[in-house]
Amino acid sequence: MQCRGSADPWSSGGNDMTSSSTNTGVVRGGAVAAAVALSLGITACTGEPPEEASFSSGVPVVLGDEPSQDAVGLYTDRDAAVAAAVDALPELVEKALEQTGVPGASVAVVSNGEVVFEEGYGVRDVTTDAPVDVDTVFPIASLSKPLSSSIVAKAITDDAELSWEDPVIEYLPDFALNDPYVTEHAKIADFFSHRTGIPTGGGDDLEDVGFDVEYIMSRMDQIPLASFRDTYQYSNFGLTVGGEAVAASRGQTWAETAQELLFEPLGMTSTTTVHDEYLAADDRAAMHARTGEGQYEQLFDRDADAEAPAGGVASTAGDIAKWMTMVLADGEVDGQAFIDPLVLAKTYSAHSITGGDAKNLTSRTSHYGFGTNVGATVTGRVSISHSGAFGWGTATNATMIPDLDLGIVVLTNGAPSGVPEAIVSEFVDLVQFGEETRPWLDLWPSVFAHFSDPAGDLVGETAPADAAPAGASSDYVGTYTSPYFGDFVVTEANGTLTGALGPDGGYTFELDPWDGDTLSFVPTGENALPGSLSSAVFVRDGDRITGVTLTYFNTFPAPGQEPNGLGVFTRVG
């Protein structure tokens, strides 16, 4: 389970593809094309402070080069506002950890091209009480996505023949989706903006049972699609396909591409897309699942190699700060051109509508760019952000306000609890207003509470009191197959039925009586946390079982999605 990319929790809304916000006096090196300025919220470099309109109401409005760049002024001058917010950060973080029970956090702030704050808090492992420090490596989950968009932007900068508009089959000729038209026309841009129609969660189930990226991509033609380019469906494996296409264009693995194009040039020496390298780090934050109110335990290890571009990065807050510094410098590193600012601007433009309430015209619309959220703060400044989360034990957020040349990243080692979002929300409020607008630390934990819920159609249910007896164990023993999952093998030993899925049958669970030929099982995985329970509905034709539907695996985890037929197995032996 990864935190959905549509979440832009501290932003008050979105902007259209040309809207932006004003520069509040930050001087940038070199003139920037108008398209870049509009997309990233950067005005031309004049060296002069921005003009400020004066009203009898006393509300200051800072005027940009264009009306779409105007913004409400800060409560004090920019540098003083940032300094005060940074001074308040330690107390904010410590309070958040104490109130929620999240074991540890690492936080960094970038301001005017410098890292002005970098600290660790709490413990990286509750079993050892080893402290979090500035070198602690965290799995960052979906915060990997905006890093990956920068990797692709760098690849495009370096290769004049490569473009966001290239169809992925140009580089992955054997790849296919469920619709031949989408297969032929879906571009790298479509996969990075979640508009291919791959449903939210598509492919995640295969990852949960242990399949690698090659197997998963080879089965994506089985997944029913939503409408192409006019629906937003947050898809880890959709974005992964886009990343893999770019790596293939270079004749590399994604890990090689990421290391060569971004991590090494930026000096992100503690960052990796390879899970084994994260595990090899001496100073790493263990994952902690939420087992109760304020309770976190180290129960799982989440290997996200299969979806590395979408969720497989592990990093430190300091390394993420280096990346934010590059983005806020319009693609420059140490004053030198690194990523074409026009390519970078397109990355952070709005390409998909992700939120807004059609029944409430006061609800602002939010957007998604390429691997990141694009929104606006209450004061009208463009915001670029992304959260990341694994239900097995990590939660992260990085937020940038180009108008203020400001970025903050919060990494934690507890299951999604709203802590990163709350800290960021408080920090952004302090910068803009000098005080908190809402009780964010009370609000966001409640929003994220459902991320620790168990999954399955039998959760909270008990077997019927008048349940029919199951058949003989031998009735169910056999091999069943699905074009999507492959073989599902049921065996019996000492009266216990066991089902096995995945590579070499490595994903196993017991099958227990429930009601007649409907048995129960406990799914496990990123989307099936402790307490999950689902049904295995066997089909009987006369005296013989001919098939089974594993209900948990017959739908994707997003709310309201219909059964997809992928969890229906036919008996073959």
Q: What is the mean pLDDT of residues 354-363?
A: 77
**Residue 43 placed within a domain:** no
* Cα(473)–Cα(540) distance, integer angstroms: 14
Residues 448 and 477 grouped into a single domain:
no
Mean pLDDT of 136-165: 98
CA dist., res. 326 & res. 349, Å (int): 17
Position 222 in a domain:
yes
Do 493 and 448 lie in one domain? The reply is no
Query: Is 85 part of any domain?
Result: yes
Neighbours of 168 (CB within 10 A): 27
pLDDT exceeds cutoff 60 at 526:
yes
Supply the pLDDT for residue 20.
30
pLDDT tens-digit map of 476-512: 999 999 999 999 999 999 999 999 999 999 999 999 9
Q: What distance lies between CA 87 and its chain's CA centroid?
A: 29
Q: Give the model's pLDDT for residue 557.
A: 82
CATH of the domain at 505: 2.40.128.600
Examine the domain organization and report whether 436 and 489 are in the same domain: no
What six digits make up the tokens of 255?
A: 């890990």
Residue-number span of the structural domain to which 490 is assigned: 473-571
Residue 62 lies in a domain: no
CB atoms within 10 A of CB 238: 28
Instruction: State the average pLDDT over residues 116-136.
Output: 97
Residues 448 and 492 in one domain: no
What are the φ and ψ backbone dihedral angles of 382, each rounded to 5 degrees? Answer: -60, 135
What's the CA dihedral at 368, 374, 376, 382 to 10 degrees?
-150
> Which of 341, 388, 379 lies closest to 154 in space, CA to CA?
341
**Mean predicted confidence (pLDDT) in 172-193:** 98
Distance of CA 265 to the CA centre of its chain: 24
Inside any domain, residue 22 = no
Q: How far apart are CA 196 and CA 497, in angstroms?
A: 40
Mean pLDDT, to the nearest integer, of 161-166?
Answer: 97
The structure's pTM equals 0.90
| Residue 275, both tokens | 């899970």
Pick from 394, 419, 452: which residue ends a domain? 452
CATH number of the domain bearing residue 113? 3.40.710.10
The answer to whether 52 and 62 have CB atoms below 8 angstroms apart is yes
pLDDT over 50 at 214, yes or no? yes
- My answer on whether 229 and 151 are in the same domain is yes
Binning pLDDT at 50, 70 and 90, where does residue 14 land? very low
Residues 436 and 556 in one domain: no
CA 139 to CA 159: how far, in whole Å? 30
Which comes out higher in pLDDT, residue 43 or 104? Answer: 104
- Tell me the average pLDDT across 124-149: 97
Residues 118, 174, single domain; the answer is: yes
Count of structural domains, the chain: 2
- Confidence bin at 363 (pLDDT 50/70/90): confident
Write the DSSP assignment of 193-208 as a string of letters. Answer: TT-S-PPTTTTHHHHH
pLDDT reported for residue 561: 78
Residues 171 and 320 in one domain: yes
Q: Do 240 and 112 belong to one domain?
A: yes
**Two tokens at 350?**
């709005």
Could you tell me if residue 520 is inside a domain?
A: yes
Q: Is 534 domain-assigned?
A: yes
Q: How many CB atoms lie within 10 A of CB 321?
A: 25
Q: Percent of the chain scored above 90 by pLDDT?
A: 81
Is a pLDDT exceeding 60 seen at residue 340?
Answer: yes
* Rounded Cα distance, 553 and 457, in Å: 11
Listed residue (557, 551, 485, 538) closest to 209, CA to CA: 485
In a domain, 26, yes or no: no
User: What is the C-alpha separation between 543 and 38, in angstroms, rounded?
Assistant: 69
Q: Are residues 195 and 141 in the same domain?
A: yes
Residues 164 and 226 in one domain: yes
Percent of the chain past pLDDT 70, that is, above it, reads: 90
436 and 326 co-located in one domain: yes
Picking from 19-33, 253-267, 364-378, which range would have the lowest pLDDT averaged per residue? 19-33
Mean pLDDT of the chain: 90
Strand partners, 550: 536
Mean pLDDT of 81-107: 98
Q: Are 21 and 64 in contact (CB under 8 A)?
A: yes
Q: Does position 358 have pLDDT exceeding 90, yes or no?
A: no
Q: What's the rounded Cα separation, in Å, for the pair 554 and 558?
A: 12
Q: How many helices (H) and strands (E) does the chain have?
A: 16, 26
Cα gap 153→262, rounded to integer Å: 10
CB 423 within 8 A of CB 410: yes
Last residue of a domain, one of 452, 483, 498: 452
How many residues does the structure list for the chain? 573
Q: Residue 360's pLDDT is what?
A: 77
**What spatial distance separates the first Cα and last Cα of the chain, rounded to whole Å?**
33
According to the model, what pLDDT value does residue 559 have? 75
Residue with tokens 């539907």: 549
